[in-house]
Amino acid sequence: MKRTGLINGQLTRALAQLRHTDLFAVSDSGLPVPDGVEVIDLGVVYGTPDFFTVLRPLLAEVTVEAAWASEDVVAANPDVHRALGELVEPELLPHAEFKDRLGQCRFVVRTGDATPYANVLLRAGVAW
């Protein structure tokens, strides 16, 4: 058994298979994911686990070189916007463009978060 870090096997596998410039996302419970993109569904009930309970340990395990969020998060969910800025400083995109980019993701990690626009698109970096 692993001693530390993430213990979800599907998530650990997906993160280990990322290569430089691969895209992946962490989402709230309602973000529509395009057909063909793997969904790693961690949601149990609305609110559990919340977005940051998943995002923080995930960021501890993977190198991220860029991030994007919907520009709607600024007004609709300023707490998420502020906290995201402290973690990954996402570039803001129109929501339609953000959703379009999901089709390029290797996978989306779905949380149980039930707040609007608690979503981030991430690009894998290299660890050296």
Q: Is 81 a catalytic residue?
A: no
77 is in an annotated binding site: no
28 is in an annotated binding site: yes
**Residue among 120, 114, 124 nearest 49 (CA):** 114
The answer for residues whose C-beta is within 8 angstroms of residue 46's C-beta and 6 or more apart is 29, 112, 114
Matching residue, tokens 């007004």: 75
CA-CA distance, 80 to 48, in Å (whole number)?
A: 16
Of 5, 7, 20, 21, the catalytic one is 20
118 is in an annotated binding site: yes
Matching residue, tokens 């894998």: 124
**Secondary structure (3-state) at 18:** coil
Residues linked to residue 116 through DSSP beta bridges, in sequence order: none
Annotated binding site for substrate: 28, 95, 117-119
Annotated binding site: 28, 95, 117-119
Residues labelled catalytic: 20
